[in-house]
Structures are given as structure tokens and as C-alpha cells.
């Protein structure tokens, strides 16, 4: 038995040191080096220049509600589905100071940020280590925002001020500076109005602890980190929350606003509509489904985002029979992990990575027909030798192909539901400009038109290079 245990330990150590070689193709290889902003300030890359696709999942209550065995099961499910970042709050949202974690530990002694509970943080360490072993970044929120400022659903108590926020930040910076798989996300679903100095103090503390990981800020719905911190040097990329207020929420407009800001910074939607969440948070109305999360993803990415965050109502709160349902949650986290929208996020990532990433820009001039500003809105993006147009309802796409190189075109339909690619044919430049997707034009019959410079000989959209 001792020999078996030693073998298992060695296997785990080798897997950890390998930087997720065993999971190649889905997870992140940390051997490419630390994350940084690309030279054009639009994307994130590794130190060796390899593009990084941010595909996030919101697991706000991960540390407070799951034990380590459950956390491992959750992380493995997300790894297999292609997620590269898990967003979770160290000081959780749902009474995260006073409700103990699965091992009976609270994060702060006497709710004092200057007295972190070592037992609780060893649990956090263990989950961060698990994520590292699976090739996943942790988007760590030092605290949910209700510990800093009141808001619509504050559970509190408010425990941070400028002084202890900096001290707590230093503690976190020193503790996690050597982990390769950390992205810091300040905020926690809150506006920063009148408490900007507290967040900036926390940032100073993290950096004073020797930490050099990338940083951003997670705001409340229909706001963006740029509203307060765009000109701060520590804000490496902008994060917005398009939110859950309505069907067909036009997150492409919010992305476009952040994309056009100066100085240029990468941007993404860090909290769009959640799968299995009642629209406007009311269970008697429509529930967001897999189409809603796909629509938000393709709209946001094609409008200029460098990545995207998926969310599920049952998973952010890690709903189980042990916990009361928040906002009418109707599923259990370990069953809802396999809702269709979660699996379809891998198709999003594979499509984006199957064509040159760093040169991609939004370009609505590609679309020749009149544009609709509702759920049928078409969104276009391109590189130097390819273009893509997302049609949410499967409406006809009429394009101008003069923005990409080459005299011959290879044209495809890409299916966001199953990741399949269907070759339409090859055409001369400008020879055929109108394409009709398969199926009837209706909500949920979404497609992506992909047009390539045929001389580049790209494989099918979504296929590995």
C-alpha cells in the first residue's frame, strides 16, 4: 500500500510540474510564460508571444461552499469543456464572512482583514493548486464588493477601509505571487463610486507583496471598470458586466464603447446573462438558455472582446440541498455543470483559435444589408485574411469581402451548437456576396459565416491548427 501511495504521489507531482501537458489542447500550458498585454493592447498573450483566450466561468462561491473533492470534480469538468479561467471570490458573496466553509473555517478572525484565518486560506491554496494542475487560471476576487460598499443586495458587513485594505492586499500578494495561474479581479459586483481609494489601496498592497499578476475590476450590471479606473496603470484590461436584466441584452454596444477608449486596453464581458437564470431575476418569466449565452459570447467577441465569461445561475452559488436557493435557482451545481450552453463555450474558443488571433478586429462595414438592432443583430469581425459574421436567428448574410486579402474565397457555415463546419464552396473575390444559413430563420438557429483567403489553406473553422 505504501508503494502504491508513493507512485500516486509521484504521478501527481509529475503532472503538476508538467504544466498540464496531459491536458494539451484544452487547458493552458504554463510553460509559455506569464500573461501580459499584447503589443497592440487588444489581447492577452504569454511571455513567449502565444495568444491566450480568456474563457471564464463564474464560480463566486467556490471556496466557501465546495470541499476539495467537489472542487476537483468541478475544475475537471471545466477543464474538459475548455474553460481557461475560473472567477471566484476569496471572501464570498453569500455571507462569506460569517458562514464557515465546508471544513468549518471562516476567512477572517473576528471579521478583521488584518487577521486572516490560516486554515481557511490553506483551503483556498489547495483549490488554486488544483486549478494549476489542470491548466486553469484562477480569476481571484480578494473580496466580494459588499465588504467594501453597500449596494442593492448588500449582505455585508463592510469591513474594509484604506488602511486594512492595503494590509490585506499585501497578505494576498505575498501569498500568491509565485503561483503562475492568478489573475486578480477587484470589485465584486459593485460600483466603485466613493470607494475608489479603498480599492486602490488594496491594489497597492497586492503589488507591495511582490505580486505582478494581471489585474482588472468586476463592476455591477451595466457598468464597466473603465468608469473609474481606465487611466490607472494597474488596470491591465477592462471588464464589464452586461448583466441579466433582459433578453437580447446588447453587450456588443458596451464592448464597442470600451474598445474605443483611449488609452487602448483589452476588454471583455465578465458577467453576461447566466444560463438557467430567470430573466430579470423573476422565476415566473423566461429563463435564459443556451442560445442566450451563445448570443452574448459571439456578440461580445465579434465586437472586439479578447475573451468571454460564461455563467450559470446554479453554479455561481454552488446550489445544493445544503444551501437555500438564491433567486429561484432550480438546479444543482453538479448536474448543471453539463447544461448545453457550458459545453458550447468550447466551440466558441475553438473557432476563435482556429484563425489568427492577434490581428482580429471588429468591422461592421463587412455587413452590406441593413442592420437590425434587436435579437437579430449581425456582428462581424475579421483578420487580414479571413472574416466572420454571426447571425443569431439564421438570417441571410450579405457581405463585402474587400476588407480581406486574396482573389479566391473559401466560405463556411460554422454551427455554434455543435462546433461543426459546413463548406459552402469556393468563389472569386466579390463573386458571391449573399449567403443563406441552413434551417428556418428563428431564434436559436444561430450560425457564423466564415470566409477565408483560399490561398491561406486554413482548415475548417473550429479545427485544431
Domain annotation for the chain: domains and CATH numbers = 21-353 (3.20.20.80), 363-456 (2.60.40)
Residue-level pLDDT at 150: 87
Residue-level pLDDT at 196: 98
Cβ neighbors of 18 (< 8 A, separation 6 or more) are none
Residue-level pLDDT at 26: 82
Model pLDDT for residues 359-405, shown as the tens digit of each residue: 999 999 999 987 888 999 999 999 999 999 999 999 999 999 999 99
Q: Cα 306–297–193 angle (5° rounding)?
A: 70
What is the arithmetic mean of pLDDT over 319-329? 95
Query: Residue 151 pLDDT > 90, yes or no?
Result: no
Residue-level pLDDT at 148: 97
Residue-level pLDDT at 465: 66
Q: Identify each DSSP E strand in 64-141 by its residue range.
A: 85-89, 137-141
Q: How far apart are CA 88 and CA 109, in angstroms?
A: 21
What is the arithmetic mean of pLDDT over 47-51? 98
φ/ψ of 90, rounded to 5, equals -65, -50
Q: Are 415 and 375 in contact (CB under 8 A)?
A: no
Q: How far apart are CA 376 and CA 369, in angstroms?
A: 13
Q: pLDDT band at 284, cuts 50/70/90?
A: confident
Q: How far apart are CA 343 and CA 417, in angstroms?
A: 9
Query: Residue 66 pLDDT > 50, yes or no?
Result: yes
Q: In what order do the strands lie in the sheet with 215-217?
A: 215-217, 182-186, 137-141, 85-89, 54-58, 307-310, 267-269, 238-241, 223-224
Q: How far apart are CA 305 and CA 316, in angstroms?
A: 22
Query: Residue 430 pLDDT > 50, yes or no?
Result: yes
Residue-level pLDDT at 178: 98
Query: Residue 25 pLDDT > 90, yes or no?
Result: no
Residue-level pLDDT at 370: 78
| Helix (H), strand (E) at residue 80 | helix 68-80
What is the arithmetic mean of pLDDT over 25-51? 95
Q: pLDDT band at 16, cuts 50/70/90?
A: very low
Amino acid at each position: 500500500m505504501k508503494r502504491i501511495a508513493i507512485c500516486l504521489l509521484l504521478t501527481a507531482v509529475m503532472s503538476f510540474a508538467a504544466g498540464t501537458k496531459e491536458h494539451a489542447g484544452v487547458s493552458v500550458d504554463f510553460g509559455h510564460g506569464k500573461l501580459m498585454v499584447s503589443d497592440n493592447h487588444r489581447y492577452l498573450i504569454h511571455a513567449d508571444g502565444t495568444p491566450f483566450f480568456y474563457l471564464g466561468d463564474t464560480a463566486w462561491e467556490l471556496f466557501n461552499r465546495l470541499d476539495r473533492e467537489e472542487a476537483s470534480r468541478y475544475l475537471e469538468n471545466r477543464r474538459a469543456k475548455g474553460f481557461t479561467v475560473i472567477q471566484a471570490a476569496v471572501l464570498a458573496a453569500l455571507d462569506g464572512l460569517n458562514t464557515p466553509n465546508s471544513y468549518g473555517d471562516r476567512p477572517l478572525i473576528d471579521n478583521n482583514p488584518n487577521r486572516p484565518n490560516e486554515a481557511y486560506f490553506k483551503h483556498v491554496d489547495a483549490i488554486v493548486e488544483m486549478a494549476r494542475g489542470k491548466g486553469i487560471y484562477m480569476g481571484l476576487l480578494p473580496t466580494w464588493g459588499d465588504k467594501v460598499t453597500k449596494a442593492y443586495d448588500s449582505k455585508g458587513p463592510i469591513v474594509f477601509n484604506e488602511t486594512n485594505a492595503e494590509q490585506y492586499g499585501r497578505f494576498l500578494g505575498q501569498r500568491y505571487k509565485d503561483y503562475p495561474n492568478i489573475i486578480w479581479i477587484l470589485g465584486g459586483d459593485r460600483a466603485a463610486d466613493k470607494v475608489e481609494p479603498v480599492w486602490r489601496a488594496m491594489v497597492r498592497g497586492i503589488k507591495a507583496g511582490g505580486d505582478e499578476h494581471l489585474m482588472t475590476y468586476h463592476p455591477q450590471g451595466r457598468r464597466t471598470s473603465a468608469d473609474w479606473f481606465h487611466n490607472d496603470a494597474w488596470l491591465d484590461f477592462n471588464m464589464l458586466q452586461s448583466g441579466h436584466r433582459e433578453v437580447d441584452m446588447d453587450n456588443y454596444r458596451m464592448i464597442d464603447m470600451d474598445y474605443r477608449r483611449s488609452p487602448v486596453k483589452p476588454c471583455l464581458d465578465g458577467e453576461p446573462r447566466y444560463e438557467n437564470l430567470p430573466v430579470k431575476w423573476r422565476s415566473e418569466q423566461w429563463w435564459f438558455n443556451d442560445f442566450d449565452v451563445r448570443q452574448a459570447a459571439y456578440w461580445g467577441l465579434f465586437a472586439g472582446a479578447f475573451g468571454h465569461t460564461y455563467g450559470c445561475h446554479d453554479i455561481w452559488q454552488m446550489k445544493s440541498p445544503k444551501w437555500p436557493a438564491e433567486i429561484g435557482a432550480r438546479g444543482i451545481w453538479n448536474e448543471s455543470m453539463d447544461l448545453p450552453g457550458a459545453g458550447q463555450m468550447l466551440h466558441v474558443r475553438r473557432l476563435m483559435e482556429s484563425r489568427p488571433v492577434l490581428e482580429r478586429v471588429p468591422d461592421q462595414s463587412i455587413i452590406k444589408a441593413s442592420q437590425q438592432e434587436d435579437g437579430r443583430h449581425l456582428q462581424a469581425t475579421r483578420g487580414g485574411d479571413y472574416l466572420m459574421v454571426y447571425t443569431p436567428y439564421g438570417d441571410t448574410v450579405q457581405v463585402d469581402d474587400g476588407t480581406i486579402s486574396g482573389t479566391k474565397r473559401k466560405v463556411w457555415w460554422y454551427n455554434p451548437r455543435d462546433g461543426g463546419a459546413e463548406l459552402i464552396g469556393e468563389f472569386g473575390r466579390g463573386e458571391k456576396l449573399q449567403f443563406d444559413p441552413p434551417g428556418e430563420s428563428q431564434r436559436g438557429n444561430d450560425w457564423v459565416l466564415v470566409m477565408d483567403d483560399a490561398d491561406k489553406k486554413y482548415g475548417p473553422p473550429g479545427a485544431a491548427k
